[in-house]
Structure 1
Amino acid sequence: MTTTDSAAAVARQTGAAAPRLPGAWRLGLLRGALEVRLFFRRREQVVFTFAFPIVFLFLFASIFGDDMAGTGATASQYYVASMIAAGIMSTSFQSLGISIAVERDEKMLRRLRGTPMPPAAYFLGKIWLVLVTGVLETALLLVFGTAVYGLDLPADVSGWLTFGWIFVLGITGCALLGIAISSVPKSSRSATSVVVLPFLVLQFISGVYILIDTVPNWMLTVGSFFPLKWMCQGLRGVFLPQAAAALEPAGSWEYGRAALVLGAWCVGGLVLCLLTFRWKNRSDG
């Protein structure tokens, strides 16, 4: 018998009111703190999560680091902005898609579902983990980009506000998509390949690894249906000079369309989660 059950039994015998369980928000915060502690205890995962985009940024910036004529920016600075967007998606979509699939396969979700903890607390815990890792990932890339490649940070409040709504909408939509795609792998063994493959493809067709003006039009069309392309474009608008907008297909940063697409993915991702999420594998019945 648990402590809570014992307290409830005593309350019934004495006629006192049963102790009130913490609400979903408080349990979600506690669950989030647990998720963050568990994440930082896995040293290999921490190193891979935070070092991977910096290593790739260094490689691509070293290979394609020349000035982009007529834009007032270098290819290195272009890659910093785009890699920040990829880092946001990595800490949300990729991280949740793999980790939740593994937890489902190991029956952890099934055991949690059998506890008094509200289901919302589990997802709130994951959201706290995504926010912490996403903020840290972004901060590291900004520090590295400004120190090594001379990235210019926004000089006014409006620039930071634009960065803020792109970050919030982007990480929310990608996190919801990560929760939704976690139901696709049949086991933990296939989770990494199922989740990483579409993420890798999106990085190539969304202007992360290849300059946007060299990506074929049909690939840009496909990429424009997904959030990563608009996060990349929006963040380039935040950190690159206005003249660099000439590289974009529309010749502008298209903030309105970016907000519309990212907002739509937040709504669509939530619907997909509600329709597809499962607490146990298909083989468990």
Structure 2
Amino acid sequence: MRSILQMELMKNAQDKGLYFWTFLLPIIFTVLFISIFTAGTEGADKEYVIISIVPGYVVMFVFFIMISMGFSFIEDRDKGMVARLASTPLSPYAYLFGKWSPYVVIVFTQIMVLLTFGKVVYNIPIEQPLLLGMLALILTICITGLGLALSLLIRTSNMGVAVTQVIALGGALLGGLWMPLEAMPSFFQKVGKLTPQYWAHNAFQETMVGTLAYNDFFIASLILLTFGAVGFIIAFFAYPSFLKRAKH
């Protein structure tokens, strides 16, 4: 398991495209949209927009890690790595954990880097740093758990890209990352509250301004962890089918 973890970390560290999608593109979008939506605004109105956009784009872009996860599993499947590992004493759980763990490091680092950028460049408030850090880790588990399930279910890389875009962009729209949920029709407001993006974004915003109550923190955490747990459960049940598709 340790060798799988180390191999994945090294492979991702050498992937220059991952740096672009993980750090550079979110920063570009953040700067662009803040400049657009804060044009002509000052004071509290400008701060409100920034406090919405920074965590909004953090939450939106971390979901795209599922594309990289899917590519990695498909590569193992099609190059015979999965079949070879299945013939060793390594358990499926150890394999999945070894593949999953590096992406936890990547996503958590991504969240911290993007929030630090927001703090340094836009001086966003971080009034509850401990809760914010805990939420970042919980969101990381949520996303990578869902990514693990998706990686074992998809048949092709293109399918992984398409499904990830639906999850990331659709969730961003419905979850209030692009516009306040209150501005949407009531039906979409109800649907939006079923997305992990909604709970993550709201909790991030409230920890930044220091208004997140512990009860709300536990509710948001439980919902996000439930999404992650469902992903893990699906992945474990999907592994035998994934193994059957593996090339020998």
TM-score by length of 1: 0.74
Residue 250 of structure 1: aligned partner? none
How do 1:56-71 residues align onto structure 2 when only pairs under 5 Å count? Answer: 56-65=29-38
CA distance in 2, matches of 1:131, 1:187: 23
CA distance in 2, matches of 1:106, 1:215: 46
CA distance in 1, matches of 2:71, 2:163: 9
Q: Does 1:228 align with 2:201?
A: no
Residue 60 of structure 2: aligned partner? 86
Query: Is this contact kept in 1: 2:8–2:99, CA < 8 A?
Result: yes
CA distance in 2, matches of 1:212, 1:56: 20
CA separation of 1:197/1:106 partners in 2, compared to 1, >3 Å: closer, same or farther?
Answer: farther
The alpha-carbon deviation at position 283 of structure 1 amounts to: 8.8
Query: Is this contact kept in 2: 1:73–1:241, CA < 8 A?
Result: no
Q: Does 1:280 align with 2:247?
A: no
- CA displacement, residues 17-68 of structure 1 (integer Å, 9 cap, x when unaligned): xxxxxxxxxx33x322221111121212322222121122112211112659
Q: Does 1:151 align with 2:124?
A: yes
CA distance in 2, matches of 1:184, 1:121: 19
Query: Is this contact kept in 1: 2:182–2:189, CA < 8 A?
Result: no
Q: Does 1:202 align with 2:171?
A: yes
Task: Name whichever of 180-189 and 225-234 sits farther off.
Answer: 180-189
Residue 108 of structure 2: aligned partner? 135
Unpaired runs of 5+ residues, structure 2, are: none
CA distance in 2, matches of 1:105, 1:187: 10
Residue 76 of structure 2: aligned partner? 103
Of residues 161, 184, 203, the one that matches 2:130 is: 161
CA distance in 1, matches of 2:110, 2:46: 26
**Which amino acid is 2:228 matched to?**
C
CA separation of 1:226/1:81 partners in 2, compared to 1, >3 Å: closer, same or farther?
Answer: same
- CA displacement, residues 221-265 of structure 1 (integer Å, 9 cap, x when unaligned): 2232232211111111111364xx9xxxxxxx9334312312322
Identity among equivalent pairs (%): 22
What is the Cα-based RMSD across aligned positions, in Å?
2.9
CA distance in 2, matches of 1:68, 1:267: 42
CA distance in 2, matches of 1:204, 1:31: 36
**Which amino acid is 1:257 matched to?**
I
Unpaired runs of 5+ residues, structure 1, are: 1-26, 246-252
CA distance in 2, matches of 1:38, 1:271: 26
Larger Rg: 1
CA separation of 1:95/1:230 partners in 2, compared to 1, >3 Å: closer, same or farther?
Answer: farther
CA distance in 2, matches of 1:111, 1:184: 20
**Bigger relative contact order, structure 1 or 2, given CA contacts below 8 A and separation 6+?**
2
CA separation of 1:122/1:214 partners in 2, compared to 1, >3 Å: closer, same or farther?
Answer: same
SS in 2 for 1:99: helix
CA separation of 1:223/1:114 partners in 2, compared to 1, >3 Å: closer, same or farther?
Answer: farther
The alpha-carbon deviation at position 151 of structure 1 amounts to: 0.5
SS in 1 for 2:89: coil
Query: Is this contact kept in 2: 1:105–1:280, CA < 8 A?
Result: no
The alpha-carbon deviation at position 98 of structure 1 amounts to: 4.1
Query: Is this contact kept in 2: 1:146–1:152, CA < 8 A?
Result: yes
**Which amino acid is 1:54 matched to?**
I
Q: Does 1:270 align with 2:239?
A: no
CA distance in 2, matches of 1:85, 1:62: 19
Aligned residues: 244
CA separation of 1:216/1:70 partners in 2, compared to 1, >3 Å: closer, same or farther?
Answer: farther
CA distance in 2, matches of 1:162, 1:98: 32
SS in 1 for 2:6: helix
CA separation of 1:210/1:94 partners in 2, compared to 1, >3 Å: closer, same or farther?
Answer: farther
CA distance in 2, matches of 1:188, 1:262: 26
